[in-house]
Amino acid sequence: MNTSSGIGLSTMKPCRRILVSCKNSSLFGFPFLNSNYLITDNLSKLQPNLNDLPDSSNRVVGFTRTNTPNWRAFCLSGSDSGQSRFFSGCPLNTSNDRLVSNIANVASDVRNHSTSIESRVNQNSFEKIYVRGDLHVKPLLIETIEEAHKVLENVEKDKDYEARVEANDSLGVNRDNLNQRSDGSMVFRSTLKREVSEVEKEAWKLLRGAVVNYCGLPVGTVAAADPADKLPLNYDQVFIRDFVPSALAFLLNGEGEIVKNFLLHTLQLQSWEKTVDCHSPGQGLMPASFKVKAVPLEGRNGEFEDVLDPDFGESAIGRVAPVDSGLWWIILLRAYGKITGDYSLQERVDVQTGIRWILNLCLTDGFDMFPTLLVTDGSCMIDRRMGIHGHPLEIQSLFYSALRCSREMLTVNDSTKKLVAAINNRLSALSFHIREHYWVDMKKINEIYRYKTEEYSTEAINKFNIYPEQIPSWLVDWIPENGGYFIGNLQPAHMDFRFFTLGNLWAIISSLGTPTQNEGVVSLIEDKWDDLVSGMPLKICYPALEYEEWRVITGSDPKNTPWSYHNAGSWPTLLWQFTLACMKMGKPELASRALASAEKRLLVDQWPEYYDTRHGRFIGKQSRLYQTWTIAGYLTSKMLLENPEMASMLFWNEDYEILENCVCGLNKNGRRTKCARVASRSPSSMSEPLLPQIKETHC
């Protein structure tokens, strides 16, 4: 079929850089914050290159929105999918000619990349509308023409909603209490029920100042916005992982639009055009970060369009692969639905496809033997060489969390049922593996101390052939009588006994650990407060690699010297995750204590990215100031503590279905095997079964 018909979603208007009013509707169904201050401030801050150019009076920043829905139809012929497709461009002009030529460019570009698009199109029989932002990004997809109409109509109608997001004081802190949209659906309330402190006011101001716009819409926050920083490297970009606490702060404050825009725009960036040394990243990879660039419009003197430029690691220092980005994207998508009550976003066809792509990438068979994800060094928050290649805990905890999120969000139908089964199997296998092999406490270390080695058998107790000499001397004295933690990494003949905070916190939040293990981690943190929290919460890992170990494992990295940066520096952004974990474990007072100690220093110290020294006494030697996730992490912690019911939407309890889903498929192949998960035959240190009531016959 070669049918073509269509509807363009935007009326393009010329738009001066100095924006006068932002009360118009947006393509994404969200009105702008009614704050001129926000937009102009943001633009002047984040697009300084524009200011440096001559003829600033005539500059145009792309906009794709309307005052009144004014639809224009454009036809794309030659589509072999038989679907109608429609595009709108971000660059603006009143001239229809220009618009048509934009559309044509987009169309040809899309054909060049038709494989991915067609596969999306063909998966469903919906009529779809693609909304094209620029030449670097995938088309955005809205499921039906009706839906697109509705989006624009709703914006016009939804004055209540517009009022809700309107900033009602100079800080833009939302205190409206509307809780019902005009279409009847519920919206969330701002969680702020009290006057904010001076520290919080400053934090909000800075967070809003860090917002980045794309085509006039807020789409994220820069990693750091220190006006004195003359060499921001990539800290002027929106990092996927860094935006998560910003997103939560906005969501908890009743502001969903920036999060929705972020989710949709990053979805457009998902593994598209970029290549690294002539090799394209796998379909589904999410970039580590992206930048909004103002690019001169060809043949249009002094006019610019906004372009999203993603970095999949091809520019990043050390060319590290951003494995955690897709996992964070899924986690945030769920959080958006939970907090706003707007589940329509996760139900969209393009969003569902995005989830599937990420999962396919994670669940693809490779050479690895374990249910844990096999990754290269520096593939997560620690994005430099730190000896975390292989199966680092942080990735495993985020992977498990993302699987749990996906299980809730994926629409189950014939085309997804295999994937859903794979998710269930992986959840079960992963939790067993981590609970059994990553957990250490006094008892387990004592077992390792007496391990026999070189055991050749499926029955081996020391499965990974760990030589007891590996138990580091610091651990012998450090491990408390009560409590324990999940080790940083596990490979053949290698246990990385360092304590990595983020991975342990997410093991608690997602219930990757058993209830007893999760309690054990909190108990250890309490016990080791001076090492992990005091000074400045929290250590990214403990202890530091020193001397020869530092030289060999970091490659003599001068940024990761002992007790600095990733090598056991203290990172205030970890506060929000600590808060969530403490709240889940019924210990919010621990989080309050940590928050109170951070609060004393963060504002005075200008919101550093990290602190150095064993007890976090100095601002990190190379630490950025005005680091956005430090600011947002602080605000999010505050709001979570005040809103336990919101916090409870962001963590998971033990899921017995996962545990009962014994997936030891080996004997289906006729191979003789014993299910490893028959609750511990080995002299395990666990006082509770890893998987309750599992009968051997299940396997």
Complex with ligand GLC: residue 382 or 699, whichever CB lies closer: 382
**What gap in Å lies between CA 372 and CA 359, rounded to an integer?**
14
* Angle, CA of 266, 272 and 275, to the nearest 5°: 120
Least separation in angstroms between residue 381's CB and ligand GLC is 4
Q: Is 500 in the site for ligand GLC (CB under 6 A)?
A: no
Map the footprint of ligand GLC across residues 215-234, applying CB under 6 A.
223
Q: Are 11 and 24 in contact (CB under 8 A)?
A: no
User: Which is nearer to ligand GLC, 236 or 303 (by Cβ)?
Assistant: 236
Distance of CA 397 to CAs 37, 58, 336, 412, 434, Å? Answer: 40, 50, 20, 24, 9
For ligand GLC, give the closer residue by CB, 385 or 391.
Answer: 385
Contact track, ligand GLC, 147-186, x by CB under 6 A: ----------------------------------------
Q: Which residue is nearest to ligand GLC (CB)?
A: 223
Using the rule CB under 6 A, is 383 a contact of ligand GLC?
Answer: yes
Locate 86 and state its tokens. 């429609």
611 binds ligand GLC (CB under 6 A): no
How many residues in the shown chain lie near ligand GLC by CB under 6 A?
A: 7
Give the ranges where 364-456 is alpha helix by DSSP (H). 393-409, 417-437, 442-449
Rule CB under 6 A: say whether 43 interacts with ligand GLC. Answer: no
Residue 361 sits in the site that holds ligand GLC (CB under 6 A): no
- Beta pairing, strands 217-221 & 304-311: unpaired
Per CB under 6 A, 247 contacts ligand GLC: no
Decide whether 165 or 223 has the Cβ nearer to ligand GLC: 223
Q: Does 241 bind ligand GLC (CB under 6 A)?
A: yes
Task: Find the length of the chain.
Answer: 699
CB 393 within 8 A of CB 508: no
Decide whether 223 or 267 has the Cβ nearer to ligand GLC: 223
SS3 566: coil
Within positions 88 to 147, which residues make up the interface with ligand GLC, using CB under 6 A? none
Task: Note the helical H segments in 288-375.
Answer: 323-340, 344-347, 349-363
312 makes contact with ligand GLC (CB under 6 A): no
Q: How far is the CB of 379 from ligand GLC (least distance, A)?
A: 11
**38: part of which helix (H) or strand (E)?**
helix 36-46
Look at the alpha carbons of 330, 690, 379, 582 in this order and tell me if their dihedral is positive or negative: positive
320 binds ligand GLC (CB under 6 A): no
For residue 48, whether the previous peptide bond is cis, meaning omega lies within 30 degrees of 0, is: no
Residues ≥6 apart with Cβ < 8 Å to 189: 176, 177, 178, 179, 254
CB of 620 to ligand GLC, least distance (A): 11
Nearer to ligand GLC, 173 or 381 (CB): 381
Residue 537 CB, nearest distance to ligand GLC (Å)? 17
By CB under 6 A, residue 239 contacts ligand GLC: yes
Q: Does 631 bind ligand GLC (CB under 6 A)?
A: no
Residue carrying structure tokens 């003949």 = 493
| Peptide bond before residue 9 is cis, with ω within 30 degrees of 0 | no
Q: Is residue 541 within the footprint of ligand GLC (CB under 6 A)?
A: no
Query: Of the candidates 381, 507, 574, 686, which one interacts with ligand GLC according to CB under 6 A?
Result: 381
- Choices 212-220, 235-243, 340-348, 581-589; region in contact with ligand GLC by CB under 6 A: 235-243
> Residue 535 or residue 569: which is nearer to ligand GLC going by CB?
569
Positive or negative torsion for Cα 460, 461, 465, 468: negative
Q: Which residues bind ligand GLC (CB under 6 A)?
A: 223, 235, 239, 241-242, 381, 383
